[in-house]
Structure 1
């Protein structure tokens, strides 16, 4: 049997301190073949020079100003040739057997469309915080672990990519859309990705967007959305 090609996309902008950790984790994967794509938003902090040191690892590399993280993700997905597509944030890194585990699930569950696993979480200093992993049923409450999600390319081709109306939480909107459309989720009960907090998911705007998305999908009432928005804004104000 021909082994499926897996496309991994990393979106980056000015992350000199974290990008090498990500690159090394792709190089360390036990599984082949992998197509690795980097979409750089025009970094000026030395990120491009580090990426250049790993040129042999790259199949496609674009560096130019773009419309933000989800615009860049959509661009990367459009370039992908793999049967399975993973999105690895700059600074995060896979376990060495992560892609191998995803491919095994892909072969064991041919009816699956989105394969997702567990996440080991670190703070920005590198201190371990927790291990998290949720089944797709959790989507009615919150987002599953997107850095540990792998989607069949055919799903993107059929249903489209990320909604650019959302700047911080479009991955949640995407997963809820897929759930509503009856896309099949397969949970892999092992750690796939190591994630470092501090990205856009933890910003106030992302939390507010998440509420907007939950309301749009009928998961919370307008009143509850308003109350939670006020709490989030108050907490943000008190942190200043």
Structure 2
């Protein structure tokens, strides 16, 4: 029997993520567009993660429970086994917006030449979910390593979608990825393709005391070359993104109309 080919694959890495894992899984399973592949890579968790994963095993297309070398190793394994052309990576403490698959598919189908995109930044803080605006990232921001906390601000991984072929082209995270592997991956992507910004909702980034970016904040900042520890120029990103916002909205509306015509 011929295996089903998906257009989009969703990857969730997990290790001891029992606190929010089920919420993450449900946010993926409750998508308005059900035509996607879901892959979960668990690093042989010691908490109740395995019990949660067994509960949803039949609804997860590919489930791997095996010791790995950390989150980036898990994500890389997931992407390499994915059958989808487009990858959405959502960690086990974050959430997908209900229309994430539908939104991402429309954009990439309407403009097949796209390699990677970002949407509106989504957040979960103090138990509240909300969206901000889509931030723009000119190529020079990545080229000079400015997509970091103290300059332009990090690119929110939960609001990004990219082609598997682009990931393979840059050889993934590399042999020894650091904790800031996503920051370095975006820099590698930018050498081959421009990041395009659209007014669509993809995911929510959760802020909570146990997340890696908080528990390993010093290490993360060190590996993303943060120089100004207590200072940030991110208001420049906000100002420029607000100026460009009407164009981003119009560009998105045009592309979504193009998708309708293609159907």
Identify whether the pair has TM-score above 0.5, normalized to the shorter chain. yes
Give 1:143 deviation, angstroms.
Answer: 2.3
Q: CA deviation at 1:164?
A: 4.7
**Partner of residue 7, structure 1:** 9
Partner of 2:111: 109
- The CA deviation string for residues 64-92 of structure 1, in whole angstroms up to 9 with x for no partner, is 11111111111111111101011111021
**2:85 is matched with which residue: 55, 72, 83?**
83
Q: Within 2, Cα distance between the matches of 1:128 and 1:25?
A: 13
Q: Does 1:172 align with 2:183?
A: yes
1:83–1:128 Cα change, 3 Å: closer
| Aligned counterparts of 2:97 and 2:218: Cα–Cα separation in 1 | 30
1:205 equivalent to 2:219? Answer yes
Matches within 5 A, 1:56-135: 56-123=58-125, 125-128=126-129, 131-135=132-136
Name structure 2 gaps, 5 residues minimum.
Answer: 147-151, 232-263
Secondary structure class of the residue paired with 2:44: coil
Structure 2 counterpart SS, 1:16: coil
> Is residue 92–residue 195 contact of structure 1 (8 Å, CA) maintained in 2?
yes
Aligned counterparts of 2:87 and 2:60: Cα–Cα separation in 1: 15
**Which residue is equivalent to 1:219?**
none
Q: For 1:172 and 1:164, locate their aligned partners in 2 and report how far apart those are by CA, in whole Å.
A: 15
- Please say if residues 133 and 144 of structure 1, whose CA atoms lie closer than 8 Å, have aligned partners that are also in contact: no
- How does the TM-score come out when normalised to structure 1? 0.81
RMSD: 2.2
Q: Secondary structure at the match of 1:26?
A: helix
CA–CA separation in structure 2 for the residues paired with 1:16 and 1:44: 10
CA contact (8 A) 1:121 1:132 kept: no
| Match of residue 202, structure 2, among 176, 192, 213 | 192
Shift of 1:21: 0.6
- Correspondence for 1:42: 44
The Cα shift of 1:156 comes to: 1.7
In structure 1, the gaps of 5 or more residues are 213-224, 233-240
